[in-house]
Amino acid sequence: MQRHPADAFSLLAGLMTLGLGLLLLSGGLGDVPMEWVGPAVAIGLGLLIVVAARPGRVKVEDEPARFGGK
């Protein structure tokens, strides 16, 4: 696997998935007030869209030499 520039979209999605997974694995979801689920989903989705749509990203294809690409 090649190293590439940091992909904030994957990072954010991964951290959100990891957090939910740990919560489910610990069995502690029953203590979470369900009225916060909707806002939490909206905030997470909003962050993902902002990260995905932000300008000025550098693609690995643009700078292959910098990251060891061919």
Applying CB under 8 A, the residues found at the interface with other proteins are 1-4, 6-11, 13-27, 29-32, 34-35, 37-38, 41, 45, 48-49, 52-53, 59-61
Rounded Cα–Cα distance for residues 6 and 49 (Å) = 17
| Angle formed by the axes of helices 37-53 and 8-26, nearest 10° | 160
Q: How far is the CB of 65 from other proteins (least distance, A)?
A: 14
Q: What is the CA angle 42-48-50, rounded to 5?
A: 100
Minimum separation from the CB atom of position 64 to other proteins (A): 9
User: CB 15 → other proteins: shortest distance, Å?
Assistant: 7
